[in-house]
A and B are shown apart, each in its own frame.
Chain A
Amino acid sequence: MKLLYFAWMRQKIGRAEEEVAPPPDVATVAQLVAWLRTQSPAHEAAFADTRLVRCAVNQDFAGPDAPVRMGDEVAFFPPVTGG
């Protein structure tokens, strides 16, 4: 599973992308976040306040209940501020 990070999520994690292989019981975005928090202090800090974190699965905005599977591209980022 390919993870992408943008804006301050990228800075807090310390990288723009990474490949991860979460355990098979990780089936949703929320479960993925819970697992990622345990992976390093940087992940824990970046996901500390999930009210500030948004997600896209395969380039579509996705909520916490959205399914994630091996091979997906999952992006995490703050609320968007374009325009």
Chain B
Amino acid sequence: MARIAVQEADFDVAAEVAALSAGRSDIGGIALFVGTVRADKSADGAPVRAMTLEHYPAMTERALGAIVAEAQARWPLLGCTVIHRVGRLLPGENIVLVATASAHRQAALDAAAFLIDWLKTGAPFWKHEETEAGGRWVEARESDDAAALRWARAGAAAPVNAPDAATAGSTPPPIGVAAAQAARAGAALSEAEHKGPRFVILFLRGGGLWLERRADNDWHALQQSWPGYRTSLGPWLAEDVIAWLDEEYGPSAARAARSRAFAADPAAPTRLEIAPG
């Protein structure tokens, strides 16, 4: 069960928390995040006098619903509330509330962190700041993308319904490119100007690392076709894959050369092992 709301009115934090546990005794913990308007936030140095939240009404609740469903699929939540305000807000006012209830603290805390990270990068809201100098649209921050992406790469807690969750121990859940995609909230449109084959990076249980030539990002299909599937990133162009591998594992001319040769040969098998398990 989840409560999702997009509204101009303020919310009552205490009442929302109380509603999550009202009449039940199976909840062991509730995690709460409340985001508020900070006055000193403007990039041009001037204090923020007000902030206006714009959104895409037909899409907002749907996007929030998808993010909440993802959290519910990953953690054993007994309740979940997401409220996002829109319209003109003053410093100190509430912007967003995320509250999660679970039998144990870790699931509640992780799910709340996940929800706020994904909300920042996967739901159609835009902040406009007013200062004495005028108004400006808040720019998306790469650190927010990175925060959302960490759920794709590292996972946080094994969701109860993940394959092998019972035996996987600390193995990250099979999350896949859905997170990467949500983190970027749709690929930049300029990517169309760089045509080329795309590759998915696959992480297997036991440490295996593979590339697969693949244009779609259907991680359900990937999960079924790869025994030991853990998680995946992409689909990206070959140079983006190589750059990511260099950043993550340290530069390797040999790995880059192998990856490039693989990418350049359309007759090659669709899969390349980068590192053994």
Interface residues of A (CB under 8 A from B): 4, 6-8, 28-30, 33, 49-56, 59-65, 73, 75, 77-83
Contact = CB atoms under 8 A, between A and B. Distances in A.
Contacts of B125: 80-83
Contacts of A56: 56, 59, 124, 186
Nearest to A82: B125
B189 A53 contact: yes
A6 B124 contact: yes
Nearest to A16: B54
Nearest to B140: A79
A60 B54 CA distance: 17
Interface SS of chain B: helix, strand, loop or mixed?
mixed
Contacts of A81: 120, 125-127, 137-140
Given A61-B181, A79-B185, 18 more contacts: A30-B192, A50-B188, A50-B193, A53-B188, A54-B189, A59-B62, A61-B182, A62-B186, A64-B192, A73-B58, A75-B56, A78-B139, A80-B124, A80-B126, A81-B127, A82-B119, A82-B124, A83-B116
Contacts of B1: none
- Which of under 10, 10 to 19, 20 to 34, or 35 or more describes the interface residues of B? 35 or more
A37 to B, nearest CB: 11
A40 to B, nearest CB: 18
What are the 6 tightest A-B residue pairs by CB atom distance, in nearest-first order? A82-B125, A64-B192, A30-B192, A79-B140, A83-B120, A61-B186
Contacts of B122: 61, 80
